[in-house]
Structure 1
Amino acid sequence: MSIWWSLHLRRDAASVPLARRLLMGAMETAGVDPDISYDLSVALSEACANAVEHGGGGALDASSEAYRVTAYLDGEKCRIEVTDSGPGLARGSGTRPPRLDAEHGRGLCLIRALADHVHIGPEPGRAGTVVSFDKMLKWRDDAPLITV
């Protein structure tokens, strides 16, 4: 079983729950274990929130006002990519835990804690950042879309 979808979303806070609900609905329909679905939805929310807050380029064009979310549920793994057109991350961003009294800066650390594999880097050949993360899937016993 393989499912994939891609969204082109406006850099607006209202887009974050939309992406999260779409992912949760796809995983629930496919029969993914609810704990795995929850972890992935929180990681996706954090990646989207970062794209909304930091993902705009300096130029005032349509691409700087949007970001892209792509999700792949393929066999035993889910991969999610969130791509923006912002200035990119500073070297070392998200590698150190934030200060305990910090109001921001926990998103990338949270994504790393919830996913099995995380890659954060520049958009190949373009300005922007890609946050990509994978997680091994577990399935409910009554998963309707599993082929055994």
Structure 2
Amino acid sequence: MVPPSDRDEQAAGRRSPDADGFAAHGPAELDLELRADMVSASIARDELSAWLDAHAWPPAHTIELVLVISEAVSNSIEHGYGVGPEIYDHPGVVRVRARIVAGGPGFRHVDLVVSDDGRWREPAARMQPGHGLYIIRSVAADLSIDGRPAGTTLSIRSQPSPVR
């Protein structure tokens, strides 16, 4: 888990609209570094949900993005680093970055980037595929995957959400 930062100590209160006109209680970007362990997907879900709530994100869209981040972080841990329930102390790190971007008049979207330094492996035809990437693709407006031997980066754009 990432140690507390000065961002955690900021006083709660309504901020004025940022440069894109989005009124928010929290930081403009979410930036997490998570350990490659089975708890990190839960931490990512909680942090993203709180961040989206602070930006008055619609609840239905929040649920979708929380599902997306859970799948992306879990895939990094399980497939990139090969971590399972029996592994407790893996040195790997999963990075999560999120920012809200204007998406046209009256709309906005979230750009999410989830990256790891694990080992990229093409899915084998004989493997029983999971549903993680299928879920992400079905919820996201756009998904790109950059898989390399030294790690994987998922770049995800959410469906547009109305500015509230």
Query: TM-score surpassing 0.5?
Result: yes
1:49-93: CA deviation from partner (whole Å, max 9, x where unpaired): 001112228xxxxx9511111111123120111101122131xx4
- The 5 Å alignment of 1:11-90 reads 11-56=36-81, 65-75=92-102, 76-90=108-122
In the TM superposition, structure 1's runs of 4+ consecutive aligned residues that sit over 3 Å from their partners are none
Give the structure with higher Rg (CA): 2
**For this pair of structures, how many residues does the alignment match?**
128
**8 A contact 2:139–2:159 mirrored in 1:** no
**8 A contact 1:64–1:85 mirrored in 2:** no
TM-score, structure 1 normalization: 0.75
In structure 2, what is the equivalent of residue 134 of structure 1? 157
**CA 1:83/1:64 → structure 2, altered by over 3 Å: closer, same or farther?**
farther
Which one of the candidate residues 35, 45, 66 is aligned to 1:10? Answer: 35
Instruction: Name the aligned partner's letter for residue 86 of structure 1.
Output: G
Alpha-carbon distance in 2 for matches of 1:137, 1:116 = 8
Matched, 1:113 2:145: no
- Which structure's relative contact order is higher, taking Cα pairs within 8 Å and 6+ residues apart? 1
Alpha-carbon distance in 1 for matches of 2:49, 2:150 = 29
Unaligned 5+ residue runs, structure 2? 1-17, 21-27, 83-89, 103-107
Describe the SS at the equivalent of 2:57.
Answer: coil
**8 A contact 1:56–1:87 mirrored in 2:** yes
Q: RMSD across aligned C-alpha pairs, in angstroms?
A: 2.8
Alpha-carbon distance in 2 for matches of 1:122, 1:9 = 19
Taking every aligned residue pair, what percent have the same amino acid on both sides?
Answer: 28
